[in-house]
Amino acid sequence: MIAERVEQTGGRVTARRLMRLVRAAGYKGSERSLRRAVADAKEAWRAKQALEGRVYRPWVSGPGEWMLCDWGAAGTVETAAGPRKLSFFSGVLGWSRFRTVSFSCSERFGALAVGLAHSFEQVGGVPGRVLFDNPKTVATGHLAGVAVLNPDLVRLAAHYRFSPRTTERQDPESKGKIEAVVRFTKSDLIPYEGFGSLDAANQAGAAWCREVNAEIHYETRARPAERLEVERPLFGSLPAARPAVACGEQRKVDRLATVRFCSARYSVPHRLVGQTVQVQASDSDVVIMHRGVPIAEHALLAPGEASIADAHYATPAPTGVRALRPRTPSEHAFLALVAEAEDYLRAAAAAGTARLHDRLEEALSLARARRGPGPRRARPRDHVRTLRARRPRIDRRRAQSRTAGERRRRRAAPARGPAEGRGPLAGRLPAHTAMSAALDPELEAGLRRLRLRAIRELAPELLQTAKTQRWAPHELLATLVREEIASREASNERARLKAAGFPAPKTLEGFDLKASSLPRATFEFLASLEWLQRKDNLCLAGPAGVGKSHLAQALGRAAITAGRKVRFFAADQLIEALYRGLADNTVGKLIERLLRHDLIVIDDLGFTALDRVAADHLFRFIAAAYEQRSIAITTNVDFERWTQFLPDAATATAILDRLLHHCHVITLDGESYRLREARQVITPA
């Protein structure tokens, strides 16, 4: 019976538990004798297992071949959402024994992807195989003892180019080194009182890894950091950017343009409604990313709170005060009387004033009575045109119609120089406005502070004209505002044109449509910019000198005139800018700045061959702009031959897949403009 129980329990049964069984079977001896018998039975079982049972042998890994990963528990940690379970993702290289540790408040697949990306970045490359345990984030199930891998893990492995492997199910002994690393981490790194915050845990983990990787390993008798230098050249290269799943926990943007994280709500740009974003959190901040680009940053909030940024929405935040919507002619006329009419109407309505419509009619009658009959008033817009028209001399008829007293006062006044006392528009105004008084200094200082330049320049003359011709207050205000808006729109258009970086002033009017193979209907469609409104791409292909660059720049200028933001790049300039961003780790910010433009023009793509790094960054930019912004390219290379300037067919396929979806491909043909003009210049000998 004793030998049978030892065999069934794998040598773990105790004499105390066997005592009840053997007593029931009639055993009359002492407990001490039973303990000796159980010890002998266990010794015999172990000897038998050594000969016939499971055989253990050292697991030998070659350099650059294996990384072993697993999760470990680290207690709890305080967060803004309350106490949360703290876990650590540990990894160890099979040959060098180099160890990595990163902490997280989740063991979902997003956290696993972040931990794995952190491990790869710490060792400086990607091993050929990665060994995992069998959680649901790795294996969705088992069939005939074979692990069915999570599709997300398969995509992650394809991105980093490693082969995922799993251990035997429910067999900790088969995991070897990683189990020892988890036990060692718990005993040597995790304090008994726990960590105060997630950031403190990650800082302690980074310091601990630097310490243990610099010590001599008891098995290899070498420092893991030194062996890593030997092993690193055998790793695969890291991709240019992390995949989206390795940038944080995934969340779907709801119809309010917000995401929920730790029971708090955070806003994102409204154009991302319905799309998936990634959320990364520290002890104080939350960073939300989309396709590897940061799109929003918020302070970490407590559960139930919300952080809403007005810049993420196209409409202003509600104020609780509705705008007035006059419908009848009387309502329009009353609100146009004075600036205080709106305040009076709101206050009277809030006080429950009876017969308010009759009061409005009485106010309008009084206003008409005080105004009285007068000369026909000029329209404000016509007067502004008069202000802007050049008048070489004062109208003689108006000068002769002045009274004799006015002429005497003019003769008695001291003489002044030609420029003395004259405003910026003097010499261009009617006679009765050329002598208009200057603005009050405090008012002029306020207009300067508010940067209302057009109002400041036109206000003196318009105020005098409005007084003389009896303009209504709202007509004067509307005229000033209209001119300020026109001035700012013209200034903004000049700024957008300067920021676009066009190398030459090309326009649609200067495009020789008769000498081009481009059909007129296609040209008119491109000039309408309907494709830009739908965020479609544009590809102009053809040999050199057929007008591809001219047409692309002209469409960009037309988009700027329509109020859009445009950025022009020669292909080598764009690649150079991406390389500069790679040097100072600002590629993400550069792409984010480029995506603020409605149209990005890339000229002469394909003239220069791109290496792996340049192609990866070009793909990253095109993937970020996919279905979000319009890209216009010019190229003289057929799509089938893009592998000539891109490093491989996979990269060319990935770029063309996103570029040609929602794209208008137009092929130009014919004789080169430059060669035609050169032949016209050359004269026969």
Residue 390 has pLDDT above 70, yes or no: no
Altogether, the residues listed in the chain come to a count of 685
pLDDT value at residue 267: 94
Q: What is the mean pLDDT of the chain?
A: 81
Query: Is residue 149 predicted with pLDDT exceeding 60?
Result: yes
| Confidence tier at 426 by pLDDT (50, 70, 90) | very low
Q: Contact, 297 vs 307, CB < 8 A?
A: no
Q: What pLDDT sits at residue 415? A: 38
- Least confident range from 54-63, 82-91, 434-443, 554-563: namely 434-443
What confidence category does residue 421 fall into, taking pLDDT thresholds of 50, 70 and 90?
A: very low
Question: By percentage, how much of the chain surpasses pLDDT 90?
Answer: 19
Tell the residue number behind the tokens 């003196």, with chain if given.
460
pLDDT band for 207, please (50, 70, 90 cuts). Answer: very high
Q: What per-residue confidence (pLDDT) applies to 420?
A: 35
What pLDDT score does 370 carry? 65
Indicate the Cα dihedral angle 480, 482, 487, 489, nearest 10°.
150
Q: What are residue 570's DSSP bridge partners?
A: 603
| pLDDT of amino acid 186 | 87
684: three-class secondary structure by DSSP:
coil
Distance CA 240, CA 254 (A): 30
Confidence of residue 11 (pLDDT cuts 50, 70, 90): confident
pLDDT band at 177 (very low <50, low <70, confident <90, very high): low
The pLDDT confidence band at residue 662, using thresholds 50, 70 and 90, is confident
Residue 512 reports pLDDT greater than 90? no
Segment of 392-396, 544-548, 551-555 carrying the highest mean pLDDT: 551-555
Which stretch, 149-163, 235-249, 468-482, 572-586, has highest mean pLDDT?
149-163
Kindly indicate the confidence band of residue 436, based on its pLDDT and cuts at 50, 70 and 90.
Answer: low
What the block records as the tokens of 682 is 């050359």
* Highest mean pLDDT of the ranges 1-15, 214-228, 568-582, 631-645: 214-228
| Residues contacting 141, CB < 8 A, separation 6+ | 147, 148
pLDDT bucket at 88, cuts 50 / 70 / 90? very high
Q: Which residue has the higher pLDDT, 49 or 266?
A: 266
pLDDT in tens, 17-29: 888 888 888 888 8
Tell whether the torsion through CA atoms of 122, 126, 130 and 134 is positive or negative.
positive
Strands 293-299 and 599-603: unpaired
Residue 223: the pLDDT is 94
SS3 134: coil
State the residue for tokens 């409204």.
270
**What is the pLDDT at residue 435?**
44
- Kindly indicate the confidence band of residue 216, based on its pLDDT and cuts at 50, 70 and 90: very high
DSSP string covering 2-25: HHHHHHHTTT---HHHHHHHHHHT
Residue type, 433: T
pLDDT, average across residues 604-617? 84
d(CA 133, CA 117): 17
Cβ count within 10 A of residue 41: 21
- Report the run of H or E that residue 224 belongs to, with start and end: helix 224-231
Over range 277-282, report the average pLDDT: 82
Q: What is the pLDDT of residues 306-333, one digit of tens each?
A: 999 988 988 877 776 778 888 888 888 8
* pLDDT exceeds cutoff 50 at 403: no
Please write down the HEC assignment for all residues of 368-400. HHHHCCCCCCCCHHHHHHHHHCCCCCCCHHHHH
pLDDT of residue 174: 67
Report in angstroms the alpha-carbon separations of 305 from 85, 165, 260, 484.
Answer: 22, 42, 10, 41
Structure tokens belonging to residue 437: 């008084």
pLDDT at 372: 57
